[in-house]
Amino acid sequence: MAQWPTLCSFLTLLEVRANMPSEKPKKITGTEPVDLLPPDPILFGQSEAMKEVRLRAAKICDTNIPVLLYGDGGTGKEVLARWIHKHSPSRTGQFVKVNCAAIPGTLLESELFGYEKGAFTGARVSKPGRVELAHNGTLFLDEVAELDLGLQSKLLQFLQDGHYSRIGDESERAVEARLICATNKDLEHGIEAGRFRADLYYRINVVRIRMPRLRERREDITILAGYFKKQYERQFVKESAALEPQMLNYLRNLDWPGNLRELSNSIARYVLIGPEAAIIPESPKRRAAAAQASPDEANAGPLKRIAREAIRDMERNLILEALRANQWNRRRAAVALKISYRALIYKIRDTGLISGRSKLSTDSQLDNNGASHSSTD
């Protein structure tokens, strides 16, 4: 029998979202561990599409050749970058990630190349850059298409001879590092539009590997779902029911625009809340696609439909209450609901409290106490 959601399970759903891998560009946090990778049979699965990826990655990992990973969001570019590092001569050094989209250009330059004491206001001590930290290791430039043109030239100079200077320092330093870049944008299009330097493109694109979308590797969904389930059971110290063949069949038939990240999120909901939650896709558009993908589900008995509607209504009411209690300040409402600001904005749209089209006008109404937020907040 379908389980009725309780207020408690509902709040948990909101919290799960807050604890789930965030879509927000990650802050540069320093060097990252690579030993948390999934085992190879999971990471590469059994699909033809991933066999190709594995073959290419295995061929180049022994060398120091620059690699460009491209593919849609959530397809596993970063996971593969870590795998390449782990299997390359640079594994004795550190894996240093720089998210080029997360930091404005001027700051990014000092993050990348470091600075000397007194180089600019606030530079009270000298600081090494990410490039320096990657010496004898791997420098992973994520979302490389977002680099501004000024930094692209600086990076190009560095890639040409391995030399660079910290900001405010005349002397040159040398670094040996493996370079891996990742993007979900079409860099060639960026070149045509004058946003990306062709010479830098040829430097970073010596070998390129395309990460397939999850829907191009449906055969791997079962093994991945099982892996995520175990991971979340361990993380949340909670056992969950075995994934029924019917459920796996349903998951294999979805389109997964958010790729492995979206599958992982669905399984997190499955573990914490149950099968009902796992099959509620994350956006209205996805709900429509899911209904098409699974006629059985679309025609499910009224109880299931009612349960789903009830979940949505409860969520909507909770959010409304929190917004009212916090004078429509979304940031404070998010704190009260124990979810991220971004998750709240998503929920406000998802529950139909405002539509995407009325976003701008409603956004200013919602923040009527003068708080201003950036859209990526």
Q: Which residues bind Mg ion (CB under 5 A)?
A: 78
Exposed e or buried b per residue across 227-237, where buried means at least 16 C-beta atoms within 10 angstroms of its C-beta: bbbebbeeeee
Cα 366 from Cα 224, distance rounded (Å): 40
| Smallest separation (angstroms) from ligand ATP to the CB of 323 | 29
| Residue pair 272/244 in contact by the 8 Å Cβ criterion | no
3-class secondary-structure state, position 308: helix
Q: What residues are paired with 207 via a beta bridge?
A: 67
Q: Select 113 or 256, whichever has its Cβ closest to ligand ATP.
A: 256
Cα 169 from Cα 355, distance rounded (Å): 51
Residues 252-291 that bind ligand ATP (CB under 6 A): 260-261, 264
**Is there binding between residue 42 and ligand ATP (CB under 6 A)?**
yes
**Is there binding between residue 101 and ligand ATP (CB under 6 A)?**
no
Which residues lie closer than 8 Å to 226 by C-beta, 6 or more apart? Answer: 243
Q: Select 183 or 351, whichever has its Cβ closest to ligand ATP.
A: 183
| Smallest separation (angstroms) from ligand ATP to the CB of 161 | 29
Question: Binder to ligand ATP among 73, 168, 274, 284 (CB under 6 A)?
Answer: 73
Q: Select 80 or 337, whichever has its Cβ closest to ligand ATP.
A: 80
Number of CB atoms found within 10 A of residue 238's CB: 10
| Smallest separation (angstroms) from Mg ion to the CB of 88 | 19
Q: Select 9 or 205, whichever has its Cβ closest to Mg ion.
A: 205
Using the rule CB under 6 A, give the single segment among 38-46, 165-173, 277-285, 349-357 that binds ligand ATP.
Answer: 38-46
| Smallest separation (angstroms) from Mg ion to the CB of 142 | 5
Question: Binder to ligand ATP among 38, 162, 168, 274 (CB under 6 A)?
Answer: 38
Q: How remote is the C-alpha of 200 from its chain's centroid?
A: 25
| Residue pair 44/54 in contact by the 8 Å Cβ criterion | yes
Residue number of the CB closest to ligand ATP reads 76
Q: Select 5 or 71, whichever has its Cβ closest to ligand ATP.
A: 71
Q: Select 102 or 366, whichever has its Cβ closest to ligand ATP.
A: 102
Q: Select 180 or 344, whichever has its Cβ closest to ligand ATP.
A: 180
| Residue pair 129/114 in contact by the 8 Å Cβ criterion | yes
| Residue pair 258/15 in contact by the 8 Å Cβ criterion | no
Cα 22 from Cα 158, distance rounded (Å): 32
Using the rule CB under 6 A, give the single segment among 75-83, 88-96, 282-290, 361-369 that binds ligand ATP.
Answer: 75-83
| Residue pair 118/164 in contact by the 8 Å Cβ criterion | no
Determine the length of the chain.
377
> Contact positions toward ligand ATP, by CB under 6 A?
21, 38, 42-43, 71, 73-79, 184, 224, 260-261, 264
